[in-house]
Structures are given as structure tokens and as C-alpha cells.
Chain A
Amino acid sequence: MNSKDNTSVGVEDRLLEALLERLNDSPVPEPGLVDQQAEAPLREYVEALGLMPFALEPEIPSASVKRRIMETVEGGRPTVERDEEMAEVVQMPASGWRRRALPLAASLALAFLGYSGWQYLHLEQQRGTIERLADQLSEANKQAVQLVNYQHELERAQDKLALVASHGVEICPLQPVETAQSLGAPHGTMFVAADRQNWYLHVDDLEPCPQGRAYQLWFIKSDGSTDSGGILEAKSGVCLEVTSDEMPVGTVAILVTLEPAGGSSAPSGPEVLYGDELTRIL
């Protein structure tokens, strides 16, 4: 890279730093404020920021939001119309006030007499309504918690799907090792993202771990050393799924072994699953 390139990169970095510093104020500079040559990359950075929310799952607002916006912009003011109707209602008795004074007084007296009884009944109804609403609220809260759990499950599934379908993903089939035939015939697949950091492991038919033992995942590196990938918890009849964003640099093979409960610092027990063929599929 020549000195001119170095200079332009330096300017670009400073502009980008300034853009990030001003992110909460006015990230887009007025035209002409920055050097013309720097405007294009700066504009591209702004557009990159503007694209970020497109990665989010869209959330649909209530229909009332659009209705309120459109009522405002179209000058439709239904509340005013209602006010006008009310004004007409209020004006009617005012025009014939004297003629209707006696019947009105009688009505008011009757209304006053019935008021106490009505008030009592009304309070009773309100109490019942409050109790019913409290029950409904309690039920709704339970459902909300359940929905949040579903949402988390969905997000986890989406993350897995994103990894599995991502560009440059590699798969590594894991086959049962003969020395561990008593542990059934488990088989699995590890999906490794192009960044070689994020991975997703799926294992079927892995028998629940014998008492006092634990399945442990290992990354075998090109120099023959091993790094632990953690303890795997297998449950009967349920496939085992693990995701992580940490994979040791230089991993060339995946191994699952049966270790003492709590795990070991290096593979010491029977080998259960092994795979060393990373294949790029997308």
C-alpha cells in the first residue's frame, strides 16, 4: 500500500470514528461538510448502519397505529366530530329549559332516591368484575411466560438454522466408535460456520450416561493436542443439541468420550463418537 492509500485510509478511519461518536446525535453530516472524496465511503457506512435493522424479524404494529397516523394526516378528527355531536345534545335541553323544568326536577328526585340502591348493586358488580379480571390477569401472565419460553426456543432454532444454512458452513459427520458398542449406535453431525468459531452439534441415539460418568466433547487439533468442548448431557429418547461460538484454532477432528462425572482434562475413557471429515456444503 503506498503512502497516498495510507493517508486515505487514515482519513476514512477518522471519519468513521467521528460517525460512531456522533451516532446518537446526527450521524449523517451535512453535504459539503466533509471532503468530497470521503463522502462516498462515509455514505456507505451510514447505509451499512441503516441496513442493520433489516436483519431483525419484523414486528407488526397494531392496526390502530396506522389508523391514527392516517387520521392525523388526512385531517380526519373523529374526536372533534364526537364533540360536535355532544354539543348538539347539550344544546337541546337548554333551548326548552323553562318548559321542561318540572318534569326534570321530578326525574332528578326519583333518580336520587334510586341512587343509593343502584350504587350498592354497582359496587357488588364491580367487586365481581375485579375478581374475574384478577383471575384473567393471572392466567394471562402464565401464558405470557409460556409464550416468552416459546419465543426463546424459536430464537434458538432460528440461530441454529441460520448457522446450518449459512454460506461456507462445513459439516463433520460423527460416527460411533467400535470400542463403545455397549453405548448403542449414536450418530451425529457437527456444523461449523465459516468463521470456524460458531458451531452446532446434533447427536441422535446417544444412550443416557451410566451412573458416575459423563460424556465429554473434545476438539482435536492439528498438532495432536486436545481441548475440551464441555460435558454433554444425554437424555433418553431426546436428541442432543449443543451450540457454541468457541472452537479452538486448528481443530481437525471431533471426539466424544465417556469420562468420570465432572469431566477430565484430557480424553481418558472409551471413545463414543468420532469425526474428522469437515466438508464444505454451501
Chain B
Amino acid sequence: MEPADSSRPDSPTEVTALDDKELIRTIVDGQSAALSELYDRYSGMLMALSQRILHDPADAEEVLQETFLQVWNQAARYDSKRSSVSTWLVLITRSRSIDRLRSRQVKLRTVTAVTRENPDLHTSPRGVGNVLRQERRRRLREEMAKLPAEQRQVLDLAFYGGLTQSEIAQQTEIPLGTVKTRTLLAMKKLRAVLRDEIRELL
């Protein structure tokens, strides 16, 4: 964690201008407005991630709440050398969701797949940030769609299903070596095609 900057913004208006890392530093200083801003930026994506894993909006909301409380309590542990802020948030949310999935044996509910509101109307009040996120989403969807179906399948099972390579092999009845090869290929392709986005984050 980098040393705290002495000139911290203290109003919600000012925190909107901060980048993610600055927001984390401001959270370390105990400014709740920074946490609120971070929530506005990422809650929609993190909620979608948790819901994709848990298939249960109520559980996903609980995970979201736990994630941001963990961020509030452990912001000082964030290490920008290890990951970007968004990836840190994704890994916390994913880990908590998968823990919950495994411990609770979540029941699928009928209303799981229902999109309740038009997300773009609510995700962020700031146009530019929102447009950038939409652009990132569009590009990622494109790139994910380009992955061969069998590679996308193993990557989805590993990332969203929380399955180990052996579990994927067992579930899909594909040899373990093939699963490993497909996952490696998928990851390499993703890294290659998302190079620009990754550099933006680093």
C-alpha cells in the first residue's frame, strides 16, 4: 500500500474525480464517500458476477455487502503491485460467492434470471465513466464470444463454477489433459486480445 496522500478530498463531489487507486487510499483514510463512489463504479458488475455464480439475487446482495465491508476494513491490505483495484474486487467477490455456493448448496430460484431494472440507467451518474464501462463490456463480450465454445466452456466452469480442473474433467467427461490444454489456450487468447485493457489497468 502506498503512503497516504495528505490532500484527501472530503466531499462526494471530489471523490468522483479520483481514480480507483486514489479511492482506495482515501478509504484507508476513513472517508466513506470514497467507498460510496467505489460502490457506484463496480456494484453492478460485481452483483452480476456474484449472481452468475450463486444464481440467487438475495445471496448475491449479501456477498456484495460483505465485499464492500471487507474493502472498508481491509483497504490498507490492497497492494497495487499484485492487481488492479477492479481485479481485487472481482477476486474478493468471486471467492466469497464460491465459498457461499459450496457451503450453502444454494437452491436455484425461478426468478434468478430476471433482470430487474435497466442497468445502464442506474450504474453511474457520470456519463464518461459509464460509456467507458459500456465500451469495455462490449469489447469483452466480443472477445469472449470469439473463443471457441469448448475453451469458453472450461473457462466458465473454472471461473464462474469454481470447479477445479479435475472437477471440470469429471463433470464434462473430457480427459484432464484436454481440460488443462483448453483452459491454458483460452487464458492465453484472452490475455492476448485484452492486452490493451490489461495495460490500462496496470
Which positions in A face B, CB cutoff 8 Å?
13, 16-17, 20-21, 23-24, 27-31, 41, 43-62, 65-66, 68-70, 72-74, 141, 144-145, 147-148, 151-152, 154, 159, 162-163, 165-167, 193-195, 197-198, 245
Contact = CB atoms under 8 A, between A and B. Distances in A.
Contacts of B146: 166, 193-195
Contacts, number: 203
A65 B86 CA distance: 19
B81 A31 contact: yes
Interface in B87-115: 87-88, 90-91, 94-95, 98, 110-115
B113 to A, nearest CB: 5
A48 B64 contact: no
A167 B142 contact: yes
Contacts of A165: 142
Contact of A65 (B43, B51, B110): B43
B83 A46 contact: yes
Contacts of B65: 65, 68-69
Interface of B is mostly: helix
A20 B158 contact: yes
B175 to A, nearest CB: 16
Nearest to A69: B68
B184 A13 contact: yes
Interface of B: 32, 35-36, 39, 43-49, 51-52, 57, 60-61, 64-65, 68-69, 72, 79, 81-84, 86-88, 90-91, 94-95, 98, 110-117, 119-120, 122-123, 133, 136-137, 140-146, 148-149, 155, 158-159, 162, 164-165, 180, 183-184, 187-188, 190-191, 194-195, 197-198, 201-202
Question: 3 tightest CB-CB pairs across the interface, nearest first?
Answer: A50-B87, A58-B44, A55-B140
Contact of A56 (B49, B94, B155, B191): B49
Nearest to A198: B145
User: Which residue of A47, A51, A59, A195 has the most chain B CB atoms within 10 A of its CB atom?
Assistant: A59
Nearest to B49: A53
Given A48-B198, A59-B115, A53 B187 contact: no
Interface of A is mostly: helix
6 contacts: A41-B191, A55-B144, A56-B137, A58-B45, A73-B69, A151-B115
A21 B165 contact: yes
Contact of B46 (A43, A44, A53, A70): A53
Nearest to B66: A69
Given A31-B82, A59-B44, A65-B43, A23 B32 contact: no
A253 to B, nearest CB: 24
Nearest to B111: A144
A50 B48 contact: no
Contacts of A48: 187, 190-191, 194, 198
A51 B82 contact: no
B197 to A, nearest CB: 6
Contacts of A68: 65
Contact of B191 (A23, A45, A60): A45
Contacts of A66: 36, 39, 43
B61 A61 contact: yes
Given A28-B83, A57-B137, 13 more contacts: A27-B91, A48-B198, A49-B159, A52-B140, A53-B46, A60-B122, A65-B64, A65-B65, A70-B36, A72-B69, A151-B113, A193-B146, A197-B149
Contact of B137 (A54, A62, A167, A194): A54
